[in-house]
Structure formats: C-alpha cells, structure tokens
Amino acid sequence: MVLRGNRTASINGDNMLVAVRMRPLSMKELQSGQRSCCEVMGDKIVAITKAKKPGAVLKSEMGSVNEYQFDEAFDANVPQYEVYQRTAKRLIPSVLEGFNVTVFAYGATGAGKTHTMMGSERMDAERATGAENGNTGVCGIIPLTLMDIFAGMKQKQAEATLPEEKWSLSVSYLEVYNEKIRDLLEPSGINLPVQEDPKAGIVGVGGLAAKSAESSEQVMELLRFGNTNRRTHATDANATSSRSHAVLQIIMKQRWNNSKGREVTRESRVNLIDLAGSERAGKTNNRGKRLQEGANINRSLLALANCINALAQGNTRKNAKYRDSKLTHLLKSSLEGQCKLIIIANINPSDDMFEDSHNTLKYANRAKCMKIDPKVVRLRERDMAWPEREKNMKRQSNEQSK
C-alpha cells in the first residue's frame, strides 16, 4: 500500500527547511546480507518499505510502502558539498543580514549525523561506496558554513561604509550530557545554567566561554580540542556513539558608531547541532550507566519531539514545554521562530534499521508543519534592548547560583 498523504513540502518558505539524507550501506552491512529498505525518488521523496521477512527480495515478500516528501532528499550518492549547497549554504546571506540560524542533524546512531555536520576526518576503509560515487568529501556542514561566513564577513568588512564599522566572530562549543550543560572549550565549565531574557526572548548559557576566531581553520582547531572533551562511547550501534548533544554556536558581530558616536552592535547567532542518537533503548543492549545516558538522551529527544508536535499543531507556542529538557530550553528561541531552522534527518537504509528509520521519517514529516516567522531585530531596538538584556541575564544567573 502506498500512502501519498505525506506529499506536502514544509510550510515555511525560506525560513525553514526539512531535509532527509540516506547514507550508503557499509561493506559490513552488505556482507551480512542487509538490504536497503529506503529509496530516494528524485530530489524530494523518500520511500520506505517494510519487508515481511528479513532479507526479502521478491515482490511478494514486501510489505507496505510509505512515501514522504521533504524540501530536500539526498540519496547515498549525493556528495557532502551538494548536501551543504542545498541546505545550510542557502541561509548564509540571512546570517550576514542579521538573522539567527539553527541547523540540526537528527537520526539514530550510525545514520550519518556526524558525517553530515562535521564530515569524516578519514576515508572509512569499510565504506561500501567511495570515490566513484563522490562520497570522499571530508568537509561537512560545519567547516563549509564557517568558510562561507568568514568569506562573507571579509567582503562586508572590505565594503564597510558605516563609521568605525567592524565585523568579528567568536564561537562557543558545548554539550548537553545527562541533562547537564558542559563547556567543551573550557572543561571546568560543568552544569552551566540556561538563561532566558523574558523581554528579548533570547536564550544564552551562563559562564559559557566564547573564543574569538579569525579563520575557519582556527575554529576547526577549537572544535578538535572540544571534541576530545566530548562524551562518546561504543554502543552496539556505533563504535564511537555520541552520548551527548553537541552545540556549536557561532556569534557574528557587526559594530559601528551611530550619529551620536555611540557604539551599536548587531549580532547573528548560528547554532550547528549534532544530536545524540535517537534509537530505541531496547536495540542497543545498553546497561547501567549507558542505560541512564540513553534515558536522558531519549528524554531530551522526546521533549524536542513534543515541542515540534505542539508547534506543528499550530495552536499556540505556550503548549510547547521547553523546560522539559536542557536541550529544548537551549533551543527555545530557535524553535519559537526567532531563528531560521534547518533540520537534516539522517537514515541508515538497512532493513534491520526499519523501525528507527521510519520513526526518523515520521519525526521529520511532522516538523514540516512547524510555523516559523523569524525577524531581524531592528538595529536601533536591539541597541536599546542590549543593556537591559545583559542586566536580566546577570540577575537570573545570580538567582540560579544561590
């Protein structure tokens, strides 16, 4: 049976994009007789088939087929740069105009989230498809986005016309692990508080280090350092499974002096997020500490799903319970629509992973209905809101540390 009711694109035009990326089957999966249960048709539709028995090949052994339409769908042969071009690259002009942007990769462990966001440092020896399919690209969305933001800033600086106009960039890198926020660039920063400014609606993290950087290479160096502090552990699903959600925050600032000689700042924030795996606990044979980690990962991903559902139903924003997890609290302003949003759902096509892949597709399908209407905060307004915002954040921080 083919269900076609899912064939609508997301409703947010340029403000939101939901994409699905299918990775190739690995050599190991092919050798163990795994078959692909997913197919990308054209550049927007993904079909997923439930086989009646494992390893089914005959048509009579196939069960139901579900088709879903997304803004973009990438099959296993689509190279890294094209994934970037058709997703995050589209929002680079918005970042330079002052919009906030969030990109997150969602999916089960081993589905390709880190490959999509960060890229692979080395060619994976067991990879089934390689250079001949254009899958050799090292750089994922994070390094490619950084390169384009730095290039864009350089051009803006060269064309600067405002008095004392200066463009600068800094980065923060944190992980949410077991419902605690840890600073990956300053490992002494553990259990940092989420802070919210009720007026400006901006969410930040108290005490989080922000390191200034002049080039994408410098940021990548910081990320490499940060990654050595990340909590990863082997699960049955992946040799280096990420047990935490990693959030890279790029803060781009444009400063100049207004006609009264007062300094004005405009800031855009880009959140690039590699989420922990969304697989069901039963699948991983995790015990003890790993099971507890899994429960916390599921708690935050469930909270994220609930927020997406509430926002997708479109009734009101107040139904979304951001405070149910650190992750959703942190993402509040992105999800509420103060931010342009890109969701990349990653799937491993092996038929063994049918349930997880189908859940990921359903998750992404619901996210298409979220309503988002971000705005650039007008410069003058933000200029005036600034001191008050800082004051509010300091007060909250003091209250939380009491």
By CB under 6 A, name the one of 47, 65, 98, 120 that touches ligand ADP.
120
By CB under 6 A, name the one of 109, 172, 227, 357 that touches ligand ADP.
109
Residue 135 binding ligand ADP, by CB under 6 A? yes
By CB under 5 A, name the one of 26, 94, 102, 242 that touches Mg ion.
242
- Would you give the binding string for ligand ADP spanning residues 27-56, x where CB under 6 A is met? ------------------------------
Region binding ligand ADP by CB under 6 A among candidate stretches 32-40, 104-112, 155-163, 302-310: 104-112
Residue 346 binding Mg ion, by CB under 5 A? no
Footprint (CB under 5 A) of Mg ion, residues 113-152: 113-114
Q: What values do phi and psi take at 345, rounded to 5?
A: -95, 125
Residue 226 binding ligand ADP, by CB under 6 A? no
Closest approach of ligand ADP to the CB of residue 111, in Å? 4
Token pair listed for 61: 């052994």
Residue 350 binding Mg ion, by CB under 5 A? no
Q: Token match 């340029």: residue?
A: 14
Footprint (CB under 6 A) of ligand ADP, residues 238-267: 238
Residue 115's alpha-carbon distances to 52, 119, 131, 224, 297, in angstroms, are 31, 4, 15, 15, 20
Residue 228 burial by CB count (10 A; 0-12/13-18/19+): exposed, middle or buried?
Answer: exposed
> Judged by CB, which is closer to ligand ADP: 111, or 205?
111
CA distance 368 to 318: 19
Residue 24 binding ligand ADP, by CB under 6 A? yes
110 binds, among Mg ion, ligand ADP, none (CB under 5 to 8 A by kind): ligand ADP
Q: What values do phi and psi take at 101, rounded to 5?
A: -135, 135
Token pair listed for 113: 């989230």
Residue 388's alpha-carbon distances to 203, 316, 391, 400, in angstroms, are 14, 27, 5, 18
On whether the CB atoms of residues 119 and 81 are closer than 8 A, the answer is: no
Residue 357 binding ligand ADP, by CB under 6 A? no
227 binds, among ligand ADP, Mg ion, none (CB under 5 to 8 A by kind): none
- C-beta atoms surrounding 15 within 10 Å: 22
CA distance 110 to 93: 32
By CB under 6 A, name the one of 346, 357, 365, 392 that touches ligand ADP.
346
DSSP-assigned letter for residue 353: G
Query: Which residues of the shown chain bind ligand ADP in the complex (CB under 6 A)?
Result: 23-24, 107, 109-115, 120, 124, 127, 135, 238, 277, 346
Query: Which residues of the shown chain bind Mg ion in the complex (CB under 5 A)?
Result: 113-114, 242
